[in-house]
Structure 1
C-alpha cells in the first residue's frame, strides 16, 4: 500500500481556495446582514414615524388627541416588548442549531408582518387596532433575533482586524432606513393630498418592503454557517452541551454591564428620531415636511459616522469609540430641544445631527464589542439579551414617557426629558470603564469558554 504525500504546491492551492471561499462568505455575510438590517429597520422607522404623526387619528381616533398619541406610542412600545422574547428564543435556537436558519426565519416573518400592516383597514375600532398590535409584536420578535443574528454572521465570518468596519455595515442599515423612510414620507406627504396620504399613501412603504425581503432571502440562502459555530459544535460533540441561556449563570455581570453601556445609544436615537418628530410638529410649530427633512439630514450624516465608528474601533479600540459617541450624544441632546423650542430649523438640524452622529459612532463599534464579550456557545444569547433588554428598558418607553411628561409638565417639560437622557449618557460612560476590550482582533472561533 503506497503512502501518498501532499506537495507544498497542493497545500498552497488548498489554502488559497479556502481563503477565497472565506472571503466570499465574508462578503455575502456583510451583504446579507446589511440588507436584512435595512429591511428590519426600514419597517421600524416607517412605523415609528407614522406612530408619531398619523396613526393616532387612523387607528385610535376615539381616544381623543392626547389619548390617541399615547395609544399609538404604546403600540410602538409593543414592538420593543417583543424584542427580548425574540432575543431569548432566537438566541437559544441560534446557539443550538446555528445562526443561518434563525436568520432565514426572522427575515420571512418580518416581511410578512410588514406587508399585512400595509393592508390593514383603518378606522375600524378595537379589532383592527388589536391586529395592528399583534403584527407589531411579530415585527419586534423578528428584530430581536435579526439584529444580533446578522451581526454574528458577519462577526464570525470576518477577520479580527476588520470586525469593526464590517460590523458597522450591519448597523448603518438603521440610519439608511431612517433616511429612506423620511425621504419617502416627506415626498408622499408633500405630493399627495392629506386625504390621499392618510387613505393609501402611508401603505406604500410597508407593501414595498416585501420586494426587499425577497432579495435578502435569496442572498441568505447562499450563505454558509459560520466557522466559529462549526468549531463549537465539534467541541461540543466530546463535551457537555451548553445551553445559550447559561450565559445568565456564567456571565451575569457582563450582560448587565452591556445593557447599561448600550442604554443611551438606544434611548437617544428614539428620543430624537421618534419623540422628536412629535415635539417638532406639536411644540416647535414645524410642518411635518420640515420635521421629516430634519431627521433625514441628521440620519444621512450619521451613516458616515457609523462607518467611521467601526473603522476607528479597529484602530483605537471599541471602548474609546463608545466614549466619543457618549460625548457627541451629550452635546447634541443638550442642544436639540432648546433649538426646536426656539423655532430655528437650522439649529434643530445641527443639534439632531450631532446627537444621532454620536449614536451611530457607537452603533459602528457595537457589533464587534458585543461579539467579543461572549464565547461562541453563548454568544448569540448573550449579545441578543444585552442588546434587546437595553432597548426594552431604555429605548422602548422613551417616546411614551416623553409624551406623558410633556402633557404633565407643560411647555418647558422638555428640560426634564433632556435631563434624564443626559443622566443615562453619563451612566454609560462610567460603566464602559469596566467593560473588557481584550478580545479585539482575536479569532472568535478560538473563543470557546468565558474563562478563555
Structure 2
C-alpha cells in the first residue's frame, strides 16, 4: 500500500471512529432528555396509578434518578475493563446493553397489565441503562480522541460536545411532533413508546460502524508493553494519578452545575416564578441549545489553536461573569434578551464541554486513561451536576424567592473550576501513546498488595 493509500485509510478510520462515538453520545443524551420529559408527564399515570398524583410524580422521577445513580458504577467498572481489554470491546458491549434496555422500555407493559411488576421492571431497565451509559460516555470520547491526529483532537472533541444540545433539540422535537399529531389518549397508550423503540435503530447503526472501527492506536501500542498485563488500572490511577483525577473533577463541577441550572432550574424559574408560557420556555431552551452547538464546536477547535488551558479559561470566565446578570435579564420577561442570556450562558458552558473530552484524555497515560477520565467525569456530575436542580429549588425557597443563593453556589463551583484550569499543565500536542512505566505500575500494585496483607 502506497503512502497516499495509507493516509486515506487512516482518515477513513478516524471518520468512522468519531461517527461511532458521536452516535453513542447522541443516543445517551437523547435518552436523557426523552426519559426526563416523560418521567414528569406520562409515566406517573401509567406505572404508578395507585398513588396520589404527587407521590406518583416523585416515584416516577425517582426512576429517572436511579439511572443517574447507576452511571458512576458503570463508569468505574467499564473504565477498569476498558483499560485492560480495550476501548473497542467495551464500546460494543455498552451500546448493545443501552439499546436493548431502551427498546425494552418501549415495549414494557404498564401497571394496568402486570401490576407491581411494571414499575419494578422499569427500575431494572433504568439501572441497566445508567450502567451502560456510565461506561459509554467516557469510552466514546476515547474512541474518537485516541484515533484523532494530534492537530485535530480538539475538533473531534467539539464534535462530541455538540451531541448533547443537538440530541435535546431532537428529543423535544420528536415529543412535540408526536403529542401534537395524535390524540392525548393515543399518545398515552403507544405514542410515548415510539421514540424508545426507534432509538434502537441508532444502536444498530452504531454497532455496524463500531464493528468496522479498529482498536485505538494508543491501546494497540499499550498491548505491546507489559504494563497492560500487570496491576489494576483503577487502583493504579487512584495511587499514581489521584491529583489529576481530583483536578479535572473539580474543573468539570463548574460546567456540570451550570448546565443543570440552565436546562432544569431555569425552565422552572421562567415558567412557574415569572409566569412565562411553557411553549415560550421550551422555545427559549431550544434556542439556547442551538447556541450550545456552536459553542461546543468553537471550544474544541479553538483549543487546537491556543491550547486547552487558555480556551477553558475563556469559557469559565464567561460563565462566571454571566452568572451575576443572568437572573436579572430573565426577570425582564422580554423574549429576545432572555434568549440572548440563555444562549450565551449555555453556549459558553458547552464551549467548555466541547474541550472536556480531549482535556481529560490528554491528562492521563493510556494504561489508566479510561479509568481516570471516567472517575473525573462521573465524579463531577455526582457532586455538582445531579444535585444542582434540587439544591437550586431548596436555595430559592430558603432565600424567599431570591436567586442569589443559587448564584452564590454556582459562582463557588465556577471559581473552583477556574482555579483547577489555571493550575493544570498544558497538554496540547502531548504524546497520546505514553504509558506509566512497568516499574511504576508494579510498584503501585506491590505496595497496595503489601498494604492489604498488613491489614
Report how far residue 65 of structure 1 moved.
5.4
Q: TM-score, normalised by structure 2?
A: 0.88
Report how far residue 449 of structure 1 moved.
4.9
Any idea what SS the aligned residue of 2:354 has? helix
Number of aligned positions between the proteins: 437
1:241-390 matches, within 5 Å, as 241-245=230-234, 246-390=236-380
Any idea what SS the aligned residue of 2:289 has? helix
Report how far residue 67 of structure 1 moved.
4.7
1:190–1:289 contact (8 Å) kept in structure 2: no
Q: Which moved more, 1:395-404 or 1:175-184?
A: 395-404
Report how far residue 414 of structure 1 moved.
3.6
1:198-217 matches, within 5 Å, as 198-217=188-207
Does 2:159 correspond to 1:175? Answer: no
Structure 1 78/348 Cα, relative in aligned 2: closer, same or farther at 3 Å?
farther
Q: Which residue of 2 aligns with 1:38?
A: 26
2:313–2:422 contact (8 Å) kept in structure 1: no
Q: Which residue of 1 aligns with 2:119?
A: 129
1:108 aligned to which of 93, 96, 119: 96
Q: Which residue of 1 aligns with 2:178?
A: 188
2:260–2:388 contact (8 Å) kept in structure 1: yes
1:164–1:311 contact (8 Å) kept in structure 2: yes
Does 2:409 correspond to 1:434? Answer: no
Report how far residue 411 of structure 1 moved.
6.0
Structure 1 168/281 Cα, relative in aligned 2: closer, same or farther at 3 Å?
same
Structure 1 413/143 Cα, relative in aligned 2: closer, same or farther at 3 Å?
farther
Any idea what SS the aligned residue of 1:441 has? coil
Q: Which moved more, 1:112-121 or 1:218-227?
A: 112-121
Any idea what SS the aligned residue of 1:235 has? coil
1:158 aligned to which of 148, 153, 176: 148
**C-alpha distance after superposition, 1:205-250 (max 9, x if no partner):** 212101111111110110100111011110127x862321110000
1:149–1:380 contact (8 Å) kept in structure 2: yes
Q: Which moved more, 1:55-64 or 1:412-421?
A: 55-64
**C-alpha distance after superposition, 1:167-225 (max 9, x if no partner):** 21122111110111122223334444444444433322212101111111110110100
Does 2:102 correspond to 1:118? Answer: no
Q: Which moved more, 1:411-420 or 1:364-373?
A: 411-420
1:186–1:293 contact (8 Å) kept in structure 2: no
2:291–2:344 contact (8 Å) kept in structure 1: no
Q: Which moved more, 1:392-401 or 1:372-381?
A: 392-401
Structure 1 122/325 Cα, relative in aligned 2: closer, same or farther at 3 Å?
farther
Q: Which residue of 2 aligns with 1:421?
A: 410
Q: Which residue of 2 aligns with 1:74?
A: 62
Report how far residue 304 of structure 1 moved.
1.2
1:25 aligned to which of 13, 32, 50: 13
**C-alpha distance after superposition, 1:125-177 (max 9, x if no partner):** 75433332222222221111111111111111111111000121122111110
Structure 1 199/400 Cα, relative in aligned 2: closer, same or farther at 3 Å?
farther
2:259–2:349 contact (8 Å) kept in structure 1: yes
State the alpha-carbon separation in 2 of the partners of residues 365 and 42 from structure 1: 21
Structure 1 429/203 Cα, relative in aligned 2: closer, same or farther at 3 Å?
same
